[in-house]
Each structure stands twice: as C-alpha cells, then as structure tokens.
Chains A and B, each alone.
Chain A
C-alpha cells in the first residue's frame, strides 16, 4: 500500500499574487513508476514540480513521501532528500569539467585539497553507467544539449536520487540520443527510482510511462493508466476540447506552381552544407524535415543572411539577390521565425508593440521621430490578428507564455509585411492550443498569397501542413516529396540517410 502512495499530493494549492497556479491538487505517484505530468503550458506542471523540488512552498496542502510529510524550504533540501531534476535549462558551470560538475558541492578531498584522481575516476564510473560518450575532463562548454542531459542523469545517480523529474527531456535530442535516454530511464526504473516525466510529445508518453496525470488551469483533471487511453482522449482531457484535427490543413490548398517566389541554386556554406537547390512557390507551405544535425536551420540562416554563404545563388521573384545580412533579406521580403524563440526571437526588455515594430521602424515616424502612438496602434492591430493574449501593447513579451511569445514573433513579420516567411520549429515547446492557432495562421497566410518554409522535427506537423516536403540529411537535400506521397516510414528512412526502394 505504501508503494501505491509513494508520493502523495494532498490538496496542494499555490497562489502567486493574484493568480492561483495550483488549485487543490491531490493525487499519488507509485514507487518505481514512470509517471507523466500532462497539460498545456500554464497548466501548473512546472509549479507542481517546483513544489516537489523545494523551489516553491505550497500555499495550502501537504506533500507526503513514503508516508512522511515533507516540507522542503530550499531546493538544496530536496536534493539532499534525493529528489533531482533533469531539466532543459541546464544549470552547469560552462568552464568547468564534466567531473567537477558532477561532484560540485561534494568534491572528494585528500588532506584538505581536491582529490582530482578520485574525482575523475568516480565520474568515469558514473559516465559508464549511463553510456555517456564524454570524458570526465571534457569542458561543459564543448558538450551538446543531449550530452548535458545525460550528464545531469549521471549527476542524479551520483546524488543517489530516489525521485527524478524530467522536463521536456527529448526536445533537443537526436533520435539516437533519445533512445539512449529511454534506456537509461528504464534502468533507473529497474533500480526502483521513481520518475516524473513532463513532455509535449504524446508518443513518448505512451511509449515510456505507466500512468499519467493531467492538469488543466492549475486543477487536477484525472490520473489514468496510459495503456488504457487513446491519443485523442488524452488531448481532449488536456485542453478540454476536441483538437483531433490538429496539424491538418483546413482550407483548400492554394499553391500557384507557375509562380516561383524563391529559388535557391547550389547554395553552400563551407563544412556545413552543400549544393542546396530548391524552389518555393507562391502560396505554398514547403516543409523541411530532417533529424537534428541535418543542417536545416543553417540553410535557413544562410538564406536569411544571418550566416555568410560560400557559394550559390538566391533569387527572389526571379531576381538574383545578395542577402548579405538579415537587414538586406528583410528588405527583399524575407522573414525568419527562429528556432530559439527566447534567445533569438525577441528583445527581452521590449514591450510587445516595440518587438512587433522593430524590423520596420521607418513605418512609425512622425516628423522624422519615432511615434509611440503609431507603434502601439500597430501592436494592437497585429496582436488581434494573431489572437495574442493579453493584447496589451505595453506588456513585456518576455512575460508571455511560449505560445504567445511565438505569436509576437509572428506578428512582427506580419507587421513588416514580408512575403516569404521561414518558420523554424514554429511550435517547439508550446502548448496544444497555441499550436493549433499557429497552424491556422500559417494557412491563412498562404491563402493571402504569402509563401512559407516550415522547418520542423515533428513529423505529424510537417506531414499535416506541407504542400511539399524536402528531406535533409547531413547537409544535403535527399528527397523531395509531394503531399500526395507523404508516407511516414519513407520520410524517416530518407531522413536517416537510407534509400527507399519502390
């Protein structure tokens, strides 16, 4: 029985000034299970985890672990208890070594001095356990995001964790890295470690977890055995409405195939990608699929003038252009919605209206000076167009949810009135509802005569939305597929660098 109620949330509420992030949440987690926490962004998953990890204290309610009431005042207390998190925002010291980061805070010592030998040996043992392809002496700076996550797991093992939470662990991982991660999770489970798992990728939830708990708007909805649920049922309980049609085109296609708006010829960037050739037609959504490392983002950055090209040509509306910088590319009618929204999409200190106005400040002048009134009006106009919440033009973009931040970035390019929009991972890390809205907006845009390139690693999304798809592998375009021939297995085979025999 104790094992059934290993972690027990009892009437947990958490209020922030003016907002109830968690409202009377009660459920239990079994010892040694992988338990998914599901819900849209803002549903309260992170708040709940933060309470478990001692980052927040509940306003009301109690948390029991192993039948014992726990009350962590500091994150450190939770770690000492054996509750560790493996999170996206990696908090490690970039210039220290792998071994130093694992042992940080409990370094082995000899005669009062650091025992480097022991430190590196212990680290190596842990790295072996998680099959990490790195050395204890590697600098954190040189690791990929995937490696860092594996390293966090090694650290969790070092700390002898009893409970580990994973927050969107696979978002930046290649499929191979994901596979390794899943193996490690299973091994951890075999050792009796209880795992909490937050992910937007429902396939993974079905594959990895035994049970799942759904939160919505800070309230507990239900807990169920993942085997007994279908994807549609699950989504419905997350959003409280039916979104089964999501990532699907709702309007008739509108490609004008005789009207090429963008043509890329033999585009190369030394040592990154080579000989990229493709055309984008007016009114088209052109999907770019590939696995992490396929260099799709690099191609887009080169087209947008963010990186220097070493060879090749770009023509827009039949005219050769030299996109030597993003400023030039924008004046040629190209906009880029970057993959890393938070670090590349908007200015943290800026309000929504300022972020939306930034690429085209010349539009907001009165007698030669910047006119705040015009910017705000413009901000409201485009906020409404993308259904931004809140529509307040003075609201800081940084304080919005991921989905709304993405809408601001989108509004920026609508306001700048570019004709070619490059969406790089447009729905990465944003919730189901906002995803559906972004898809609808993309469709609306092509219907209005804009043209879209969509880079995405989410296959259902590329399949559901593209008119045509280019598959990249290791810096090359390996396949071009029309929407009538979309087939999941085939696409993935191409993306993996394999041949398809017809």
Chain B
C-alpha cells in the first residue's frame, strides 16, 4: 500500500498517469456540463418565486462549492508536503491556487449578478459574500508569497504554512450563515434527507457540481504536467521523454 502511494507520488508516474487520464476526463467534463446545462437551462421549470433568474445557481453554486473545495485540496496537499516532503503534493497545491482563485471570482461575479434581482442590489456585505471575498484575498496572498520567495523549496514550505493558516478561514465561510444570520439563504443542499430544492432542479445542479469537479481535475493535471516538466527539466526521464516525442 505504502509502496503504491510512494510510486504514485513520483512526478514521473504522475506525469504518465495524467497523460492517460486527461483525455477521458476532458470528454466526460464536456458531456456532463453540456447535458447539465441543457437540463438546467431548458428542461427544468422556472422557480415559483424567482422565475427564470434562479437558473444562475447552475453556475454560481458549483463555483462557490469548488472555491472552497480547491482550497481544502490545497491545504491537504500542503500538509502532506510538510509532513512527508512529497514533491507532487507541492505541485498540486501550487497549480491549484490559480484555478481556485478563478472559481472564487466566478462565484462572486455570478452571485452579484444574482443579487440584483433577488436582493435589489449587486453587492450586499453579508457573511457568505464577504467570506468568499476573503477567500479570494487568501488565494492572492498565497500566489504572491510563492512568487516573492526565489528559493523554490523555501517558497514551497512557506506557502504550505500559509495555506494551513488560511484554512482556518474555511470553517468561518461554512458556518458564517449561522453566525451572522443575514440575508443569504442557508445552503440548499445541506439537508440530504429532505432537499428543499425540487428534484427537476436538483439533478442538473448535482451534475454541474460533478462537471465542475472533473473540469478542475483536468485543468489541475494538465497544469501539473507543465510544472513537472519545468521542475524536473534536468532529470533523465524527462529528456528521454522529450526525445521520444520529437521523433
């Protein structure tokens, strides 16, 4: 088991694995997202109160979800990197940051577009939105720290510490609705037993979430491959590989 884990962690193996998986995952992402968008935007009925404008949840909710999910991945891989010094964990954390920041930005932008018809204003300083904004700042800080420290191994460890410190922010995001009890409606899918969202609307939403997750994996793996090549440029397997590809 540990051997497998260790093998998995070698950049070379990861590079090869990602190469095989990316096309499959990319195809799945495309199919699922297109299908979910069709179900969500065309098939699903309008909401009894919000009419058509609720349909933005098919982008907003998965993006908000991913913004936190990606940060958790960053924090977990940072912890793995600090404890077991696993190179690939650092690479995953590094390449995930810009993707997570993009998801956060999408969640903020779509949330504010949704806020106009729902709350009567583009931006409300409520708990959810504010913590999402803080999350975006955290991503920015993480990326800035990485680029500021020139020594790569120091940068990796410093950034990992920062990611773990920032993870304190994630529970604040999650429980902020209860803490500040303001305008933002409580999370719709927190109650799995009796979802308060109708089935015809829920299924496309869940599909979108799956699609976003796959999209993240594709994106992360292809970025990680580039990062591996950049870091391991001197290693013999990379040179062999490149020579092969040229033929």
Do the two chains bind? no
Which residues from chain B sit less than 8 Å from chain A, CB to CB? none
Which residues from chain A sit less than 8 Å from chain B, CB to CB? none
